[in-house]
Amino acid sequence: MEEFIQDLPKAELHLHIEGTLEPEMMFKLAQRNNIDLPYKSVSEIRAAYKFDNLQSFLDIYYQGSQVLQQEQDFYDLTWAYLEKAASQNVRHTEIFFDPQSHTDRGIAFETVYQGINRALQDGKTKLGISGQLILSFLRHLSAEAAFSTLEQAIPYKDNILAVGLDSAEQGNPPAKFKAVFDRAQAEGFLTVAHAGEEGPPEYIWEAIELLNVSRIDHGVRSMEDPKLLDYLADKQIPLTVCPLSNVELKVFDSMAKHNLKKLLNLGICVTVNSDDPAYFGGYIAENYQAAQSALDLTKQELYQLAKNSFQASFLPPESKHKLMVELDNYYQNQKAS
Ligand code: HPA
Ligand code: ZN
């Protein structure tokens, strides 16, 4: 099973690049940039990664991001992720970045963007992995701040596929960002939003109806609203689910209680993703693996999850088709062997 999962051709659609900052890289960049870390060792950092909820994670995650200062830092971070993803046969990845975590510290938008984008270009040529960017607004900040971030992104809009919404969900509903998302769509950006991670199903409805999202990030609390479940299945609005993240942030008490398999069996286009792999104990293959063993997922279900990941991606139809053929060939060969 482990090998089947590792080699399964897949796409990753919910990954925060700042969440791929491994403790070793945090030390390396702190040294490069002359920053004092509040930790003495890698093991001390890892020991601090015990979370009670989303906010307790966000506090540590934003603190960690401060070691990212130069364009090369963003390049190194992204490159390390792409190498890891390619080693798990991720064929395509759509990466969130949080510009406000950096611009609010005086780092230029361009520095962040150029570093990440240069690594994505190298990923394509050197690793054969395609990558796209999604600019995520921090929802605990104001709509005005999101507007000003959108303005800064407009010169690069040909290389930024979509805008999204992350950070503290409760009390920061999608409605707060309707005007910004309208403007982003007028500029040609697609839209996604984190919703129904800690927040109620109403936030998922708002993301769909007010922000016109193509996908919901997380969305696991849709389970509380039968009408919403029918709607997601009927319209095939994908959910980018992150199993290890949900257990680490106590959205579910244990992996055995995760609703991934139920959502899949309701015919919803669910996908498996790693969210913030450096903080939650694993990359995409470890997420598939943890869900597989706790929920007893079959090879057919794993195949369906991978197929959904290509279907839910923002790739053009011909690229989607090519990757799905690659996946089908892989699955048929595995079944025969
Ligand atoms: N939820 C909200 N904000 C985030 C997350 C998440 O899963 N990861 C990084 N920022
Ligand atoms: Zn996320």
Q: What is the pLDDT of residues 136-171, one digit of tens each?
A: 999 999 999 999 999 999 999 999 999 999 999 999
Q: Please report the atom of ligand 1 found closest to the CA of residue 169.
A: 2
> Residue 167: CB within 6 Å of ligand 1?
yes
Residue ID of nearest Cα to ligand 1 atom 10: 167
Tokens 């197929």 identify what position?
307
Count: domains in the chain: 1
CA of 134 to the centre of ligand 1 (A): 13
Residue ID of nearest Cα to ligand 1 atom 2: 167
Instruction: Say how many C-beta atoms besides its own lie within 10 A of residue 170's C-beta.
Output: 14
Q: Please report the atom of ligand 1 found closest to the CA of residue 245.
A: 7
Q: Which of 197, 198, 206, 248 is catalytic?
A: 197
The mean pLDDT value for 236-242 works out to 99
* Residue 187 a catalytic site member: no
CA of 334 to the centre of ligand 2 (A): 32
Which band of pLDDT confidence, cut at 50, 70 and 90, is reported for residue 332?
very high
Q: Is the pLDDT of residue 337 over 80?
A: no
| CA–CA dist 127, 193 (Å, integer) | 29
Ligand at shortest distance from the CA of 246: 1
Instruction: Say how many C-beta atoms besides its own lie within 10 A of residue 33's C-beta.
Output: 13
Domain range enclosing 267:
2-336
Which band of pLDDT confidence, cut at 50, 70 and 90, is reported for residue 13?
very high
Q: Is the pLDDT of residue 233 over 90?
A: yes
The mean pLDDT value for 79-96 works out to 98
The mean pLDDT value for 23-31 works out to 96
Q: Is the pLDDT of residue 278 over 90?
A: yes
> Residue 16: CB within 6 Å of ligand 1?
yes
> Residue 277: CB within 6 Å of ligand 1?
no
Which CATH number is 257's domain given? 3.20.20.140
Which band of pLDDT confidence, cut at 50, 70 and 90, is reported for residue 172?
very high
Q: Is the pLDDT of residue 195 over 90?
A: yes
Residue ID of nearest Cα to ligand 1 atom 3: 167
Which band of pLDDT confidence, cut at 50, 70 and 90, is reported for residue 335?
confident
| CA–CA dist 112, 152 (Å, integer) | 12
> pLDDT at position 336, please?
79
SS (HEC) of the chain: CHHHHHHCCEEEEEEEHHHHCCHHHHHHHHHHCCCCCCCCCHHHHHHHCCCCCHHHHHHHHHHHHCCCCCHHHHHHHHHHHHHHHHHCCEEEEEEEECHHHHHCCCCCHHHHHHHHHHHHHHHHHHHCCEEEEEEEEECCCCHHHHHHHHHHHHHHHHHCCEEEEECCCCCCCHHHHHHHHHHHHHCCCEEEEEECCCCCHHHHHHHHHCCCCCEEEECHHHHHCHHHHHHHHHHCCCEEECHHHHHHCCCCCCHHHCCHHHHHHCCCCEEECCECHHHHCCCHHHHHHHHHHHHCCCHHHHHHHHHHHHHCCCCCHHHHHHHHHHHHHHHHHHHHC
Name the average pLDDT for the chain. 97
pLDDT digits (tens, 9 = 90+) for 110-127: 999 999 999 999 999 999
Residue ID of nearest Cα to ligand 1 atom 7: 275
